């Protein structure tokens, strides 16, 4: 028993892997207080752009490249800058010829965070970027099926976005000029649709007349809202099916495929709290598809 205790203590003291301490500080990664890697920023980002990074060892061998591959929506003539669709990074491990596109880490200190993930994946035990380590810090961390679905939806929007815009301009005139870079598209309490600091349209509930024959036929008619652009023109409407929680959009552009859509909506937000404005998805659809 005594010999076993001595063996364990010896392993703890002399085995650098067992007692390994990893720390990121000022563009350097230290392993057991010894500087082993540089984790440098190769391109500075901004409020709307991600930075680029590079990890290399003391011999200059590149371990990992992280590049900004942010995906934008097709820029419309009324947009002064590209509208960000999805913040993504491309991870490249040259040594093993591996690549992966992933959503941006939502963290205050990206480099410190990724250093911790590399340690958890076991990278610093050997200093070798293996398939297992790369998979651990990339695909295992995210729901890749959801990512592919999200990117596919953006691709579908981009296919028709400019055509939708052109059809609207031809039928109703120019859309509001705006800077979407800092925009937070939202639906206000008065049902005005704002995109950045611009009001681009609004919704107005239709008043159904009880003497209308259709009102008598429909025991519980679906609430209907007109879609009004910034020039106060009615460009379409949407109905609300509260039972199925579906919003059906109809725009006065019969030749355009996206002029009709059925959207599922939720009465709660991402945190499970009740939403005051449940039709924000219609506003988002109209703006992103180039109709407002």
Q: Is a pLDDT exceeding 80 seen at residue 112?
A: yes
Any domain includes 201: yes
Q: What is the DSSP letter of 241?
A: E
- 136 and 180, same domain (yes or no): no
Any domain includes 147: no
Any domain includes 192: yes
- 195 and 63, same domain (yes or no): no
Domain range for 47 is 2-142
Any domain includes 28: yes
Average pLDDT over residues 18-32: 88
Q: Given its phi and psi angles, is residue 121 left (phi above 0), alpha (psi -120 to 50 degrees) or beta?
A: alpha
Q: Single out the residue of 28, 65, 62 nearest to residue 43, CA to CA.
A: 65
- 105 and 187, same domain (yes or no): no
- 24 and 104, same domain (yes or no): yes
- 137 and 165, same domain (yes or no): no
Any domain includes 247: yes
- 111 and 8, same domain (yes or no): yes
> What does DSSP say about strands 62-68 and 71-73: parallel, antiparallel, or unpaired?
unpaired
C-alpha to C-alpha distance for 152 and 85, rounded to whole angstroms: 12
Q: Is a pLDDT exceeding 50 seen at residue 4?
A: no
- 89 and 200, same domain (yes or no): no
Average model confidence (pLDDT) for the chain? 86
Any domain includes 37: yes
Beta bridge partners of 102: 89
Average pLDDT over residues 180-209: 86
Confidence of residue 186 (pLDDT cuts 50, 70, 90): confident
C-alpha to C-alpha distance for 181 and 158, rounded to whole angstroms: 17
> What does DSSP say about strands 28-31 and 62-68: parallel, antiparallel, or unpaired?
unpaired
Domain end point (choices 111, 142, 173): 142
Any domain includes 100: yes
Q: What pLDDT score does 219 carry?
A: 47
Confidence of residue 196 (pLDDT cuts 50, 70, 90): confident
Domain end point (choices 120, 142, 164): 142
Give the angle 278-279-283 at the CA atoms, nearest 5°.
140
- 118 and 219, same domain (yes or no): no
For the ranges 47-56, 68-77, 216-225, 244-253, the lowest mean pLDDT is seen at 216-225
Average pLDDT over residues 141-156: 83
CB 218 within 8 A of CB 238: no
Average pLDDT over residues 51-61: 94
Return the percentage of the chain with pLDDT > 90, whole number. Answer: 60
Q: What is the DSSP letter of 220?
A: S
For the ranges 40-49, 63-72, 252-261, the lowest mean pLDDT is seen at 40-49
Domain end point (choices 142, 175, 207): 142
Domain count, the chain: 2
Q: Is a pLDDT exceeding 50 seen at residue 235?
A: yes
Any domain includes 184: yes
Give buried/exposed letters for 255-278 (b at 16+ CB in 10 A, else e): ebebbebeeebeeeeeeeeeeeeb
- 165 and 46, same domain (yes or no): no
- 161 and 198, same domain (yes or no): yes
């Amino acid at each position: 028993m005594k010999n076993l205790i001595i063996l364990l203590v010896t392993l703890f003291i002399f085995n650098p892997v067992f007692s390994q301490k990893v720390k990121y500080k000022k563009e350097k990664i230290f392993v057991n207080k010894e500087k082993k890697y540089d984790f440098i920023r190769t391109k500075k980002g901004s409020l709307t752009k991600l930075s680029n990074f590079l990890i290399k060892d003391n011999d200059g061998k590149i371990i990992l490249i992280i590049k900004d591959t942010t995906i934008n929506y097709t820029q419309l003539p009324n947009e002064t800058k590209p509208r960000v669709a999805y913040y993504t990074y491309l991870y490249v491990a040259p040594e093993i010829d591996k690549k992966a596109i992933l959503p941006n880490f939502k963290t205050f200190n990206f480099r410190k965070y990724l250093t911790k993930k590399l340690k958890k994946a076991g990278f610093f035990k050997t200093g070798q970027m293996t398939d297992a380590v790369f998979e651990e810090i990339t695909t295992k961390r995210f729901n890749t099926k959801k990512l592919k679905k999200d990117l596919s939806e953006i691709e579908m929007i981009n296919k028709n976005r400019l055509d939708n815009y052109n059809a609207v301009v031809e039928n109703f005139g120019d859309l509001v000029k705006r800077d979407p870079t800092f925009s937070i598209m939202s639906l206000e309490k008065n049902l005005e649709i704002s995109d950045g600091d611009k009001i681009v349209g609004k919704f107005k509930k239709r008043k159904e007349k009880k003497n209308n024959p259709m009102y008598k036929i429909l025991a519980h008619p679906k609430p209907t809202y007109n879609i009004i652009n910034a020039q106060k023109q009615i460009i379409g409407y949407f109905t609300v099916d509260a039972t199925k929680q579906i919003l059906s959009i109809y725009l006065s552009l019969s030749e355009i495929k996206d002029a009709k859509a059925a959207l599922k909506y939720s009465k709660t937000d991402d945190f499970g709290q009740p939403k005051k404005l449940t039709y924000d998805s219609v506003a988002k659809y109209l703006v992103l598809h180039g109709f407002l």
